[in-house]
Amino acid sequence: MSGSVLEIRGLSKTFPGQHALINVDFDVAPGEVHALVGQNGSGKSTLIKILAGYHDPAPGASASVTRQRRGGELTHLRLGDARAAEEAGVRFVHQDLGLVETLGAHENLALGAGFLTNRMGTISWRQEIKRARAALADLGYHIDPRKPVKELSAAERTGIAIARALQNWDRDVELLVLDEPTASLPGPEVERLFDVIRTVKERGVAVVYVSHHLDEVFHIADRVTVLRDGRKIDTVPTSTLDHDKLVELIVGRALYAEFATDLSEGRAGGRKVVLAARGLSSSSLLHLDLDVTEGEIIGVAGITGSGREEVARVLFGALPRTGVVQIGGVHVVGDRPDLSVRAGLAMVPADRKQVGIMPEMAVRENMTLTDLQPYWIQGLLRVRKERSEVSTWLDTLDVRPRQTERLIKTLSGGNQQKVLIAKWLRVKPKVLVLDEPTQGVDVGAKADIHRLVDHAAEAGAAVIVCSTDTEELVRLCHRVVVMQRGVARAVLTGDEITVDRINQLQLQVAQEATA
Amino acid sequence: MSTTADAGAVDPPVNRLRNVSLGRYSALILLALFFVYFGLIDSTTKDVFTDGSNIKVTLAARVTIGFLTLGLLVPLAAGIFDLSIGAMMGFASMVLAWIEQENRVPGGVFGASVVTILICMVFGWVNGFLVVKLNINSFIATLGMSQVITAAMLWRSDNQRIADVFSDEFQDLGRKEFLTQSLSVWYLLGAAIVIWYMLEYTPFGRKLFATGGNPDAARLAGVRTGRYIWTALIISSVMAALGGIVFDMRQGAASPQTGPPLLFPAFAAVFFGATQIRNRPNVWGTMIAIVTLAFGAKGLQLKSPGVWVEPLFNGLALAIAVAFASYQGGLRLRRKRDPEVPSGNLAATVSSRTDLDVDPSG
Ligand SMILES: Nc1ncnc2c1ncn2[C@@H]1O[C@H](COP(=O)(O)OP(=O)(O)OP(=O)(O)O)[C@@H](O)[C@H]1O
Ligand SMILES: [Mg+2]
């Protein structure tokens, strides 16, 4: 096929005990946005990582890039070579971004594009910082480039990774590959990313776009390729599909009407308050008051910088705070996660890679760390008992593969997320705080997780969901708080909770903020 | 979903074979090779090498290092280095000798040993304070501590060794034999079992590994990481003290020069051991590593006597074992870092490259 920017043939990959990709062909046409979708563990990231040279493929695969910017010159890629794709004009934003956490944005950008030097041959930091600031501003981010990346929010980090990938894009980028760039971006920022994608697309750069948000796929993609269990199911123009058909392609069967359930009938009235927060302040929150009753699910929305990113960690006591948090009338000390856990608080953090998983430890060890007492019998940690409980949870959440002893880092992103949720659900917390609970989770698993959250609430837990996924808030919550500049600016209840209303409010307050 | 759940799985037998990597057992294989070569093939060593007394002497000579490696394992599980352990061991052996010399502690040598352990625990506590409360990198804090301990030792001893203060009964505890091996070897085995139990079969050990695996994640799961690090440093000081006491038993003398040179061989054994059996610091991997290093060095020494043989051998064996384990474990070393995986705990650090190369795309 001569009309492709990227052409992959016969790509297979086997990890110990598992086929991640089986004989996949994949083509990207010039200037198109090509969505790559599939359930957790279907092989999307693996395909991308092979292209980027992090994994070697099984023998027999081939790939080539046609360089539109060089008069259609054909380059055969040596798959598994870390430089090959880069040199052929392919740029990546990986699922977990791959930034150097301790360096600032300017250094991270420079590492991608080469350092700017002055006449003496030393690095000119002033120029670097200027360049970084400009590149980020182009994407609509106003971040101090010198701030270490680890201190930034997930959305800001995504911005930096995208800015890095797009450096010099009008000169030598043919193809931009984005692996779940929106997993932790709030609605308005997704729009901004789409603007960027449209701009590069107009200039002839093709885009491969991985996402579990199917509405985004319909919004931005020209064609979509579906992977299921490592096999390519089909590549189709999005215009010939609708949401349900796409879901069917992904899951292999129709998903029952999951999103239609109505749970928002007068829950809060007359119930016992489990969590009471008064005057919570932190570096980005200002006197937040919050009451959550048993069985209630409260949503927290807001654009990046609104304080939404910190609500979960401040409530849980993972960040320094002032103000009062009480659970069942009992005061909980801040900045002491161990005491919070003992008081019945649980938090699934948004930043899975940095503060969620222990990458070199088994799934089992990751899951049971929150409470080892049940296996500590007569002076011995009973691993067999532990394993069987973990197994049950893997079944409940459909974590794949069902291996308790596998290192968690070898699970796909969405499956890691499920393990982190199970880790807290198993201790039956009184207050469950979820920060981006379904980031990077596929449609089927998302429905599973939502159902589990419902169950936890029905069993009497107070649940707080901080999310950039507006549909998720609508699906789950009885009340939704919209944040602006560290303050709760609006509270929606009942019928007011709609995607449009929340997005509109987020944007509106954002505009007020900049005005 | 359930219909396709198993589509990605490969047959279990194949799976299992693939997962057995020789690198995880390279120490045992090496050990066997040493016995075959030095014990059967090489004519200059074959009469002596497999001799019962050679085995006994070789093993007993490693007991002190053995205690140090056990001591290092505990903080390493929590991702912390204790570089003061060598100096601490030498210090303990001197303290015991001083107490015996002055003879002021009731309870004889037993009382003296308890006091020695307590003194070392104080130093371990200070290490913990520096690392946890003052937030000093453990590498730096314990390096500083090792110098302070060495200084204290030199000042008090005037760099003189102390001999003839230990009773015969005390020395018999180290010299006598049980089941063909020196008693001290059995002490080490006992200590190994205790540490093994602690690391693998108690919540304490699990939380220690979690702390090493990702301190932030562990903290958010309710682990008081600071306490675990602190405790680990105290435990390592106790192991150093025990090493010093057993050293005195075996040698019947103490010298300020003994401790510090043991630091590298102890680290070599722990790092080597962390590539064995399972890919993280573990007791039996480390014990096997010690034995392998002991016999390898012994064989070479029998062939060509010289003090330089052992450090050379330690260094080479460590580098080769780590390289072999990384290769077999399928970890890619060159320019192929998994963009989704942060560099994790010690085992990963040991078996993958530790320099800060930058992945080109991600
Ligand atoms: N380094 C690895 N070692 C072993 N197995 C791996 C490794 N990386 C990925 N896998 C397995 O390969 C399969 C495909 O994973 P991949 O990360 O490509 O999924 P994905 O489609 O990106 O999923 P997600 O949407 O959850 O990110 C998974 O089952 C995963 O467990
Ligand atoms: Mg992925």
Q: What is the pLDDT of residue A481?
A: 93
Closest listed residue to residue A38, CA positions, set A445, A481, A506, A462: A445
Q: What is the pLDDT of residues B96-140, one digit of tens each?
A: 999 988 877 787 889 999 999 999 999 999 999 999 999 999 999
Does residue B267 belong to any structural domain of this protein?
no
Does residue A309 belong to any structural domain of this protein?
yes
Burial class (CB in 10 A: 0-12, 13-18, 19+), A342: exposed
Who has greater pLDDT, B23 or B329?
B23
Q: Which residues, listed in sequence order, are joined to residue A381 by a DSSP beta bridge?
A: A376
Q: What is the pLDDT of residues B211-257, one digit of tens each?
A: 999 999 999 999 999 999 999 999 999 999 999 999 999 998 898 88
CB contact under 8 A, B221 and A337: yes
Q: What is the pLDDT of residue B3?
A: 36
Nearest 5 degrees, angle CA A207-CA A209-CA A210?
Answer: 160
User: Chain A residue with minimal CA distance to B356?
Assistant: A100
Total count of domains within chain A: 3
Residue A113: which pLDDT band, with cuts at 50, 70 and 90?
Answer: low
Nearest CA to ligand 1 atom 8: A410
Residues A147, A320, A414, B221, CA torsion sign = positive
Does residue B121 belong to any structural domain of this protein?
yes
Does residue A192 belong to any structural domain of this protein?
yes
Whether residue B77 contacts residue B281, with contact meaning beta carbons closer than 8 Å, is answered with yes
Does residue B253 belong to any structural domain of this protein?
yes
Does residue B269 belong to any structural domain of this protein?
no
Task: Give the number of the ligand closest to the Cα of residue A442.
Answer: 1
Q: What is the pLDDT of residue A120?
A: 63
Distance A24 CA to ligand 1 centre (A): 15
Who has greater pLDDT, A91 or A503?
A91
* Residue A349 shares a structural domain with residue A289: yes
Closest listed residue to residue A90, CA positions, set A79, A98, A101, A106: A79
Q: What is the pLDDT of residue A122?
A: 67
Q: What is the mean pLDDT of residues A480-508?
A: 84
* Residue A309 shares a structural domain with residue A438: yes
Which of A239-243, A510-514, B332-336 has the least mean pLDDT? B332-336
Q: What is the pLDDT of residue A251?
A: 79
* Residue A211 shares a structural domain with residue A245: yes
Does residue B172 belong to any structural domain of this protein?
yes
Residue A181: which pLDDT band, with cuts at 50, 70 and 90?
Answer: confident
Choose the final residue of a domain: B232, B262, B292: B262
Distance A343 CA to ligand 2 centre (A): 35
Phi, then psi, of A9 in degrees rounded to 5: -130, 135
CA distance A467 to A454: 16
* Residue A352 shares a structural domain with residue A469: yes
> Mean pLDDT for chain B?
82
Domain residue limits at B334: 1-50+275-362
Prior bond of A401 cis (ω within 30°): yes
Does residue A375 belong to any structural domain of this protein?
no
Q: What is the pLDDT of residue A117?
A: 59
Q: What is the pLDDT of residue A344?
A: 94
Q: Specify the residue for token string 């003398």.
A: B253
Q: What is the pLDDT of residues A186-206, one digit of tens each?
A: 777 788 788 888 888 888 889
Strands, E assignment, B179-315: 181-182, 253-254
Choose the final residue of a domain: A150, A171, A192: A171
From A83, A353, A372, residue closest to B203, measured CB to CB: A372
Residue B20: which pLDDT band, with cuts at 50, 70 and 90?
Answer: low
Does residue A365 belong to any structural domain of this protein?
no
CATH for A287: 3.40.50.300
Q: What is the pLDDT of residues A7-49, one digit of tens each?
A: 999 999 998 778 899 999 999 999 899 999 988 888 999 999 9
Distance A44 CA to ligand 2 centre (A): 6
* Residue A317 shares a structural domain with residue A236: no
Does residue B328 belong to any structural domain of this protein?
yes
Residue type, B316: L
Which of A105-119, A145-159, B151-165, B258-272 has the least mean pLDDT? A105-119
* Residue A277 shares a structural domain with residue A346: yes
Whether residue B75 contacts residue B236, with contact meaning beta carbons closer than 8 Å, is answered with yes
* Residue B94 shares a structural domain with residue B43: no
Ligand 1: residues with CB < 6 A are A 15, 18, 20, 38, 40-46, 95, 400, 410-415, 440, 442; B 8
Whether A271 shows a pLDDT value over 80: the answer reads no
Asked if B338 is an interface residue toward chain A (Cβ–Cβ < 8 A), one would say yes
User: Chain A residue with minimal CA distance to B338?
Assistant: A54
Q: What is the pLDDT of residue B326?
A: 63
Does residue B270 belong to any structural domain of this protein?
no
Domain residue limits at A462: 273-357+427-506
Shortest CA gap B238–chain A (Å):
22
Residue type, B198: M
* Residue A149 shares a structural domain with residue A210: no
Which uninterrupted H or E stretch holds A483?
Answer: strand A479-484
Distance A50 CA to ligand 2 centre (A): 12
- Alpha-carbon distances of A112 from A51, A287, B358, B361, rounded to whole Å: 17, 41, 9, 7
From B5, B223, B336, residue closest to A54, measured CB to CB: B336
Distance A96 CA to ligand 1 centre (A): 13
From B7, B220, B339, residue closest to A337, measured CB to CB: B220
Residues of B in contact with A166 (CB under 8 A): none
* Residue A207 shares a structural domain with residue A233: yes
User: Chain A residue with minimal CA distance to B20?
Assistant: A16
CA distance A286 to A94: 34
* Residue A13 shares a structural domain with residue A83: yes
Residue of A36, A45, A211, A398 best suited for mutating to test ligand 1, as the one with most atoms within 8 Å of CB: A45
In a mutagenesis test of the A interface, which of B225, B280, B340 is the best target, namely the one with the most A β-carbons within 10 Å? B340
Q: What is the pLDDT of residue B314?
A: 81
Q: What is the pLDDT of residue B147?
A: 94
Does residue B268 belong to any structural domain of this protein?
no
Q: How far is CA A104 from the centre of its chain?
A: 21
Q: What is the pLDDT of residue B346?
A: 42
Whether A260 shows a pLDDT value over 70: the answer reads no
